[in-house]
Amino acid sequence: MTTRRAMVAANWKMNKTLFEASELIKAMMPSLNQIENVDIVLCPPFTNLSLARIETATSDVKVGAQNMHWEESGAFTGEVSPTMLNALGVEYVIIGHSERRQYFAETDETVNRKVHSAFAHHLIPIICVGETLSQREKGVTRSWVEGQVKAALKDLSVRDVKKCVLAYEPIWAIGTGKTATSKDANEVIGYIRNTVAGLYGKEAADAIRIQYGGSMKPANATELMAMPEIDGGLIGGASLKAKDFSEIVHYRKQAE
C-alpha cells in the first residue's frame, strides 16, 4: 500500500481579480482547514499570490505560482523570477502546463531549465506532461509522455526527483468536458512511474507524487483518487467554485 500523501492543487489559470480571489479563498478556507492526509495548494494568477499567502497564513494550505522564468533577474519583460516567488513565500510552481507549451512556446528544454531553477530556489515543481487527442488516436501516448518525463527530469538528483510532483494532463480532456476513464488515467500514470523507476530507481518512483490533471470534478474525484497510481489532482475549472473544490478535496468523505 502506498505511503504517498495525496495532493490536490488548484490551477486558477487566468481567472479572478484581486477582489474575486479574496472572496473565493474566504469561501474555501472553512472547508480546507478540515482536511487530513491531503496536501492542498492554491495556484492563483501572479497578481493574487500575495493575497493568497495572507489569506492562507494560519492554515496548512500552500500557495503555488502558475509559471516562472529560470533566471533570477534580467531583461525578460513580463516574466517573474524564482526569487520573486521566494520573496512572496510561494512554495510550489506549475511548470510545463499544456497551455504554456501550446500558446507560449514552452519546450522540453525550457521545462527542464525551469525545474532545475525551481529546486535551486527551494521551490517544488508541479511538472505537467500529457498527450493531444491526435497523439492518443495514433497510439503514441506512452512514448510521448515517457519522452516528456525524461526531458523534464534530466540531470536531476534522486533527492530532488523524490520531491517533484508530476501531473498527467491528457490535453484532450482539459476544458472539453471529456475525462479519461479512471482505468486509462491510472494506466498512463503507471507508465510515468515506471519511467521514473527506469531513470532513478524504484525508491524514487515510489516516492514521487503523480496527479491527474484532466477535468477532475466532484462527480469523478473519488473514483479517480481510488486508483493506486493516482496521488491527487491538478484542478482547473472546478477549483474556481468553492463548493466543487471542497468536494474534491473531501473525496474520502464522498466514498463513505
Catalytically annotated residue among 146, 169, 223, 229 = 169
β-strand pairing of 165-168 with 209-212? parallel
| Residue 137 annotated as catalytic | no
Cell triple for residue 225?
483518487
How many Cβ atoms are within 10 Å of 64's Cβ, its own excluded?
A: 24
Catalytically annotated residue among 97, 106, 223, 247 = 97
β-sheet bridge partners, residue 6: 38
β-strand pairing of 124-129 with 209-212? unpaired
**3-state secondary structure string across the chain:** CCCCCEEEEEECCCCCCHHHHHHHHHHHHHHHCCCCCEEEEEECCHHHHHHHHHHCCCCCCEEEECCCCCCCCCCCCCCCCHHHHHHHCCCEEEECCHHHHHHCCCCHHHHHHHHHHHHHCCCEEEEEECCCHHHHHCCCHHHHHHHHHHHHCCCCCHHHHHHCEEEECCHHHCCCCCCCCHHHHHHHHHHHHHHHHHHHCHHHHHHCEEEECCCCCHHHHHHHHCCCCCCEEEECHHHHCHHHHHHHHCHHHHHC
| Residue 97 annotated as catalytic | yes
Active site positions, annotated: 97, 169
